[in-house]
Chains A and B, each alone.
Chain A
Amino acid sequence: MDFITHLINGISLGSVYAIIALGYTMVYGIAKMLNFAHGDVIMVGSYIIFLLMSNVGVPAIPAVIISIIVCTTLGIVIEKIAYKPLRRATSLAVLITAIGVSYFLQNSSLLLFGSDPKVFSSVVNLPSIKLANGMINISSTTIVTVVVCILIMIALTLFIKKTKAGQAMLAVSEDKDAASLMGINANATISLTFAIGSGLAAIAGALFCSAYPSLSPYTGAMPGIKAFTAAVFGGIGSIPGALLGGILLGVIEILGRAYISSQLSDAIVFAVLIIVLLVRPTGILGKKLHEKV
């Protein structure tokens, strides 16, 4: 019974990682850059929900929707100001800029919200479910997290397969210059990717802080790194890879903590990542890289 509970906890944590990892992986797949500020967008989104719910008294669902809108805008603004001017620069320059944006968001939040942690009130307020005569207790946040994660995956897959904008994304990720020649607006497509990724970050923030209700300007940093790991683990650039990587990472982390050592859980997670990358350098579902000469 314990094993099942641990597994459920792992899937719940993994689903949050997966939603965050989607943001990383989409941006990487299309803009070929690592947006290290992604984790901090989660934090900004959570603060917006927190302020709306506890200071203004907005109910949970409208608060989450406003947060998604704000984060989407923030994602587009970040892309326009910080990344777009560097479109032709080396990838290292863009990476450093992304780290800079990450610190900018953290420090601005420190200034605006202060560094004392806030207790986040859960956006999910439903009773928990008891199974097997109360031996297994699944909190409503867990269920909502997993369901939302699956819904997002389905929606994204449909979006990419069925819509023009989605097809444009695929094309830009294959070859940006060729796509531009075919009449696809590459810049608009990249902006759209940032918008979707940041909107997902707001959802991830709401779910993460509902399950682990402590919010500080550094809240996004650790899940951001873990989700990046999940994206690499699953194969960066691949959407199903992000889901698989995220859930596997969450399960490994929780089972490692439960059965190996509660102190070493992070070390175990990263050890697994190293092993996977040694065996499959492009991640579990990653495409093999064709070196262009």
Chain B
Amino acid sequence: MKFKKLMSMALVGVMTLATVAGCTSGQSSNKDTFKIGGIGPLTGPAAIYGTNVMNAAQIAVDEINAAGGINGYQIEFKAQDDTHDAEKAINAYNSLKDWGMQVLLGTVTTTPCVAVAEKTAEDGMFQITPSASSTDVIVNDNTFQVCFTDPNQGTASAQYIGMNEIATKVAIIYNSSDVYSSGIEATFEKEAANQGFEIVSIEAFTDDTATDFSTQLQKAQSAGADLVFLPIYYTPASIILKQANDIGYAPVFFGVDGMDGILTMDNFDTSLAEGVILLTPFAADADDEKTQKFVAEYQKRYGEIPNQFAADAYDGIYAIKEAMEKTGCTPDMSVKEIGEKIIPIMTQIKVDGITGEMTWNANGEVSKTPKAVIIKNGAYVAY
């Protein structure tokens, strides 16, 4: 008995030592690998975005590691779930910092991103969001975007509809309780004044009333709108498509990046989305070599066609690589040191990614050419 007790004591001792040793070795591994964190909704109403972003980021990281890493150092990538919630995003940020994150790719959606951007600004951390598109995200100098800002999406959509003469009478249904949606709506409305179509109905809803759109659709139909602009996420959009079908209203539906993901929703009847046009910087059926390679790898690993969020995240990782290589960053540098080096260089680099050739201005906004896709037979086709 006594021997057994002694043994167990010794075992406990060894295990404690092992934990301590584990800790120190964990910290020292910081010196030879870069640690990039990712935050986004991996569950919840915007989960499709988060999983696409994290999957694609992992592909980019693996590619870079296979090709010798950044400045000869390997990269580690770790993703955390924020369920599209600001409070959970802050928790995710803190736990990634404990892990040793040096640069942040994220967050994926706007509202949490605004909250996290405050934290990264305090810490001087370089942050690049693949897809949070509000201008509120980039108020601080340390934050950059891979996607278009909301104002640019609204303006670009209005120009696209005007230039291609898709419609003459346009209705808008937007979510007034969401900065993303109301931001795009405002610039769309402004730019529409310069275009050859007329806005005949502007209707809003809020997160609490995002189930019944019969009134908004009825008003759009009565106003004779032949196009309904939907600067909203795909979950309410899927209900709108169903309810429009129920009342026999069939205009052209035009969405922005929030519409991306509608085809991969569980149990969604994709025939309802037939003919929906959406503004996107990325078309998975593009025939350039880079896109094809990325799409093939994504399909091999995850069995799905990647959406533009995936493409933005993939390009985001390459933007981080480019900036780090230009400034000769090493993994032993602190969060602040890396931030101070690469934030100023961002306006000077040019990244030729799968979403186009990107440059950034000092505000953190990206510049690239918008494209649009139309949904045909349940897939995106270049418009």
Known contacts A9-B215, A137-B247, A266-B206; 19 additional CB pairs below 8 A are: A114-B43, A115-B47, A116-B43, A116-B48, A118-B267, A119-B266, A119-B267, A119-B268, A121-B267, A212-B243, A214-B210, A254-B212, A257-B209, A257-B215, A258-B215, A262-B215, A262-B216, A263-B206, A266-B209
Q: Does the CB pair B247–A258 fall under 8 Å?
A: no
**What bracket does the count of chain B residues touching chain A fall in?**
35 or more
> Which of A116, A134, A213 is the most central at the interface, judged by chain B CB atoms within 10 Å of its CB?
A116
Which residues in window 133-165 of A have CB below 8 A to B? Answer: 134, 137, 139, 141
Which residues in window 48-84 of A have CB below 8 A to B? Answer: 50, 54
What residues of B have a CB within 8 angstroms of the CB of A141 in the complex?
A: 246
Which residues in window 1-37 of A have CB below 8 A to B? Answer: 1-2, 5-6, 9, 13
- With the chains together, A214 CA to B211 CA distance in Å? 7
Instruction: List B residues at the A interface (Cβ < 8 Å).
Output: 43-45, 47-48, 83, 176, 203-206, 208-212, 214-216, 218-219, 222, 235-236, 238-239, 242-243, 246-248, 265-269
Q: Does the CB pair B235–A212 fall under 8 Å?
A: no
Partner of B239, one of A50, A212, A222, A263: A212
> Which of B44, B45, B208, B212 is the most central at the interface, judged by chain A CB atoms within 10 Å of its CB?
B212
Q: Does the CB pair B215–A6 fall under 8 Å?
A: yes
CB distance from A123 to the nearest CB of B (A): 14
Closest to A256 in B: B215
What residues of A have a CB within 8 angstroms of the CB of B203 in the complex?
A: 262
Q: Does the CB pair A5–B218 fall under 8 Å?
A: yes
Known: A121-B267, A263-B206. A115 touches B83 (CB 8 A): yes
Interface assignment of A100: CB less than 8 Å from any CB of chain B: no
- With the chains together, A143 CA to B247 CA distance in Å? 13
Closest to A114 in B: B43
What residues of A have a CB within 8 angstroms of the CB of B83 in the complex?
A: 115
What residues of B have a CB within 8 angstroms of the CB of A128 in the complex?
A: 246-248
- With the chains together, A10 CA to B183 CA distance in Å? 30
Partner of B212, one of A13, A118, A134: A13
What residues of A have a CB within 8 angstroms of the CB of B208 in the complex?
A: 222, 266
Query: Closest 8 interchain pairs by CB?
Result: A212-B211, A119-B267, A139-B246, A9-B214, A115-B44, A263-B204, A119-B268, A262-B203
Instruction: List A residues at the B interface (Cβ < 8 Å).
Output: 1-2, 5-6, 9, 13, 50, 54, 114-121, 128, 130, 134, 137, 139, 141, 211-214, 216, 222, 254, 257-258, 261-263, 265-266
- With the chains together, A6 CA to B44 CA distance in Å? 32
Known: A222-B208, A266-B206. A116 touches B248 (CB 8 A): no
- With the chains together, A270 CA to B106 CA distance in Å? 38
Closest to B182 in A: A263
- With the chains together, A2 CA to B210 CA distance in Å? 21
Closest to B222 in A: A2
What residues of A have a CB within 8 angstroms of the CB of B176 in the complex?
A: 263
What residues of B have a CB within 8 angstroms of the CB of A116 in the complex?
A: 43-45, 47-48, 266
Known: A119-B265, A254-B215, A262-B216. A137 touches B248 (CB 8 A): yes
What residues of A have a CB within 8 angstroms of the CB of B267 in the complex?
A: 50, 54, 118-121
Q: Does the CB pair A214–B209 fall under 8 Å?
A: no
- With the chains together, A134 CA to B176 CA distance in Å? 32
Q: Does the CB pair A117–B235 fall under 8 Å?
A: yes
Partner of A262, one of B45, B205, B235, B268: B205
7 A-B residue pairings within 8 Å (CB atoms): A6-B218, A130-B248, A137-B246, A213-B242, A222-B211, A254-B214, A257-B216
Q: Does the CB pair B212–A258 fall under 8 Å?
A: no
Known: A128-B247, A262-B204. A119 touches B238 (CB 8 A): yes
- With the chains together, A5 CA to B211 CA distance in Å? 18
- With the chains together, A2 CA to B222 CA distance in Å? 7
What residues of B have a CB within 8 angstroms of the CB of A50 in the complex?
A: 267
What residues of B have a CB within 8 angstroms of the CB of A222 in the complex?
A: 208, 211
- With the chains together, A222 CA to B212 CA distance in Å? 12
What residues of B have a CB within 8 angstroms of the CB of A262 in the complex?
A: 203-205, 215-216
Partner of B43, one of A5, A115, A139, A258: A115
CB distance from A78 to the nearest CB of B (A): 25
- With the chains together, A5 CA to B239 CA distance in Å? 19
- With the chains together, A205 CA to B312 CA distance in Å? 39
- With the chains together, A222 CA to B206 CA distance in Å? 12
Q: Does the CB pair A258–B45 fall under 8 Å?
A: no
- With the chains together, A5 CA to B209 CA distance in Å? 19
Q: Does the CB pair B222–A214 fall under 8 Å?
A: no
What residues of B have a CB within 8 angstroms of the CB of A216 in the complex?
A: 45
CB distance from B28 to the nearest CB of A (A): 38
Closest to A250 in B: B212
- With the chains together, A87 CA to B225 CA distance in Å? 58
